[in-house]
Homo-oligomer: A and B are copies of this chain.
């Protein structure tokens, strides 16, 4: 009997060919002149999905890129159902940005395919469609499948948020798989079982009614830049703790068991920190290792600041205004709204009577999420990666935030797992983005293994 894995091996070149075809379409969702290309990519996917036995629907909304939904329920009522999310749109790219080859002419060198979207995230789309093709063609698909392919992940995901909110029954599944992202090393798979949430805000200080000449008024007006620094400097202790009252009240502690489970990733994270961040020395809460500070500890970050004249040369302005962009990364069980209000109240309490202060929230925020790594979907995922990569994967909690997760968490009653096939060196959002073709094929094998293992666990 031909297995799904045999089929995948036999069709490796065809799968790559499909990937290259999709990579050749510049489906840049952030540039309106490429709207037709995003549509072309959607039509390519529809045709490809029909060919392998899926029958997708396109969901459209005014001003939005096509959202593709497909389901195959041939495994029957007793089999588990998976919901898979990927995105097929890409970041902008032009040869002039510094690419060695045209970004929409997929080019293979040293076992890597160079093209915009190679790792973020068309390899994930095509790897999953290839795995499904292999399972369906060989009559060995042990799970029911629901697919959701987004065409505006790089711009504004509001369409998919609405779709998820309005279709919880249609999307009902036993597990939600988000397949995107990168592991720190191409030979050592690392699975993310937690992500931080986020809340963002603008903080504005104004003082004089207009920009002043610093000679004519300096010494009599509380300079808003100075007042801003005096306020912001009070938000951390010298050892990096956030000073906002009640900031840490709800933070879920790291249990000794989790600390043990998680610790194998420490050296990888520290190595990556040296390679990428490479600050003079690490900073932060001394009681926590680097990977714990990133994955399990909340932060308050000043993402931007501006005021007065900051260009070449000098202007002796005593400015009207200074402003800062502040975000908090959140962990379970911090409530984004409560933390936002606590930060706002504390900021305003620090504003002296010599200036005016204002806090504005920018988005509703998203909570942090941790998936219990002992539950069946994660256990199936660990074993699938071990089979696919030939190495036992490490477990990690990542410090970033994936907004669409919040929609899945809120409206779908199913565990969520992340299934990345790329690695960080592939340069998502950067020039000369690539995908390692070996990782693409390991991804296909891992996806097939996951479906087989998960179906047996249910």
Contact = CB atoms under 8 A, between A and B. Distances in A.
Interface of A: 196, 198, 200, 207-210, 212-223, 225-226, 228-230, 232-236, 240, 273, 276-285, 290, 293-294, 297, 299, 301-311, 313-319, 322-325, 327, 329, 353-356, 362-363, 398-401
Nearest to A269: B220
Contacts of A232: 225-226, 229, 233
Contacts of A290: 220
Instruction: Give how many copies assemble into the complex.
Output: 2
Given A216-B294, A280-B354, A305-B310, 15 more contacts: A200-B316, A214-B299, A214-B303, A218-B294, A219-B284, A219-B285, A225-B302, A229-B232, A279-B355, A280-B353, A281-B354, A303-B314, A303-B317, A306-B310, A316-B401
A314 B399 CA distance: 17
Contact of A294 (B209, B219, B234, B304): B219
A279 B210 CA distance: 9
Contact of A277 (B200, B215, B221): B221
A198 B217 contact: no
A316 B217 contact: no
12 contacts: A208-B276, A214-B303, A218-B301, A229-B233, A280-B356, A303-B314, A304-B319, A305-B308, A305-B322, A306-B310, A309-B325, A316-B401
A354 B238 CA distance: 11
The 8 closest A-B pairs by CB, nearest first: A215-B400, A233-B233, A304-B308, A306-B310, A222-B283, A219-B293, A229-B229, A229-B232
B219 A297 contact: yes
Contacts of A233: 226, 229-230, 232-234
Contacts of A236: 226, 230
Contacts of A311: 304
A283 B221 contact: yes
Nearest to A225: B302
Contact of A313 (B315, B329, B362): B362
A278 B220 CA distance: 11
A340 B198 CA distance: 42
A221 B302 CA distance: 12
Contacts of A398: 215-216
Contacts of A282: 220-221, 354
Contacts of A319: 303-304
Contacts of A209: 276-279
A308 B313 contact: no
A314 B284 CA distance: 24
Contacts of A230: 229, 233, 236
Nearest to A226: B302
A223 B294 contact: no
Nearest to A218: B299
Contacts of A229: 228-230, 232-233, 302, 305
A207 B215 CA distance: 33
Contact of A305 (B218, B225, B313): B225
A403 B213 CA distance: 15
A303 B318 contact: yes
B212 A277 contact: yes
Contacts of A322: 305
A319 B301 CA distance: 10
A396 to B, nearest CB: 11
Nearest to A213: B400
A27 B382 CA distance: 75
